[in-house]
């Protein structure tokens, strides 16, 4: 398989690069988080998205190396951003697969991993999906809860994509819930989607969880979300993922 050899090469040839996409506060317009999204700049085939190479990376057992590479690039970004005493230091959201959660980190988990890369706890949010929780079972759930107790911030990603169970919101004190773009897309014409959004806004609000709407592409979607009380949004309308070195949000620029 040609791609396997190419992917191994990509690791050492700097072809795997972290892009950053802003999560914006819809009330103030400020960038609240930057999500790290991995891209493969293939020399012949151009930009390849994670869905096309992360499953392969899992199969051939190099997710650990890929996770390290993401951490290296994120810590470079955080170090270059601004002095640590800045009033609103940039925070980076990092996606974590089940494999990374279960095997990657050794005994000290995310806390130890952050320390290893010199990343302060309050600069990073880890994103895990409902699917990861479902597949990981009670072991992973209690691991995530222990990390949160130690001060790690966690977001529940892809909320509303089919395995939605509101019960994990009650058991795990997430800082953020990320409502999937597929729900956002249905808002303008679909009453059940609106009812679902309303319920999620009420539930996250009473649990003290911040809600981020993902995949926001139109002003109509943004305005509807803001009027409904969804505070945070991410999507092409607010800003696309861009290579970390071109990320002007880092210097405090408006999106």
Residues of this chain that interact with ligand G (CB under 6 A) are: 21, 36-38, 49-51, 54, 70, 95-97, 100, 127, 157-158, 181, 214-217, 235-236, 241
Q: Residue 36 binds which entry of Na ion, ligand G, Mn ion, none, with Cβ cut-offs from 5 to 8 Å by kind?
A: ligand G
Q: Could you say which of 35, 100, 147, 158 contacts Na ion (CB under 5 A)?
A: 158
Tokens representing 28 are: 């103030």
Q: Which residue is nearest to ligand G (CB)?
A: 235
Nearest-angstrom CA–CA distance, 82 and 120: 14
User: Whole-number minimum distance, CB 94 to ligand G, in Å?
Assistant: 6
**Residue 78 or 177 with smaller CB distance to Na ion:** 177
Q: Are 140 and 101 in contact (CB under 8 A)?
A: yes
Coil, strand or helix at 188: coil
| 221 binds Mn ion per the rule CB under 5 A | no
Concatenate the DSSP letters of all residues of 3-48 into one string. HHHHHHHHHHTT-EEEEEEEEEETTT--EEEEEEEEEEEETTTEEE
Cβ neighbours of 137 (radius 10 Å): 9
**Residue 6 or 124 with smaller CB distance to Mn ion:** 124
| 157 binds Na ion per the rule CB under 5 A | yes
User: Whole-number minimum distance, CB 35 to Na ion, in Å?
Assistant: 9
**Binding residue count for Na ion, defined by CB under 5 A:** 3
> Please, which residues have CB within 8 angstroms of residue 155's CB and are 6 or more apart in sequence?
93, 125, 126, 127, 128, 174, 175, 176, 177, 178, 212
User: Whole-number minimum distance, CB 83 to ligand G, in Å?
Assistant: 26
Name the residues that contact Na ion, by CB under 5 A: 157-158, 214
């Amino acid at each position: 398989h040609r791609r396997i050899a190419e992917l191994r090469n990509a690791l050492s040839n700097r072809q795997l690069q972290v892009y950053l996409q802003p999560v914006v506060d819809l009330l103030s317009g400020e960038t609240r988080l930057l999500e790290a999204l991995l891209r493969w700049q293939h020399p012949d085939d151009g930009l390849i998205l994670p869905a096309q190479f992360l499953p392969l990376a899992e199969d051939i057992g190099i997710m650990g190396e890929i996770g390290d590479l993401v951490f290296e690039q994120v810590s470079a970004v955080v170090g270059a951003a601004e002095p640590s005493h800045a009033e609103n230091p940039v925070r980076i959201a990092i996606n974590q697969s089940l494999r990374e959660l279960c095997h990657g980190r050794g005994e000290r988990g995310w806390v130890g991993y952050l320390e290893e890369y010199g990343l302060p706890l309050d600069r990073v949010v880890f994103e895990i999906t409902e699917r990861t929780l479902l597949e990981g079972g009670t072991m992973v759930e209690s691991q995530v809860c222990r990390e949160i107790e130690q001060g790690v911030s966690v977001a529940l990603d892809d909320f509303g994509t089919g395995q939605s169970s509101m019960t994990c919101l009650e058991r795990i004190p997430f800082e953020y819930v990320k409502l999937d773009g597929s729900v956002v897309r249905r808002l303008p014409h679909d009453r059940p989607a609106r009812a679902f959004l309303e319920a999620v806004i009420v539930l996250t609000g009473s649990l003290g969880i911040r809600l981020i709407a993902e995949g926001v592409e139109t002003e109509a979607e943004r305005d509807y979300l803001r009027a409904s009380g969804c505070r945070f949004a991410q999507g092409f309308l607010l800003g696309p993922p861009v290579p970390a070195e071109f990320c002007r949000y880092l210097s405090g620029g408006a999106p």
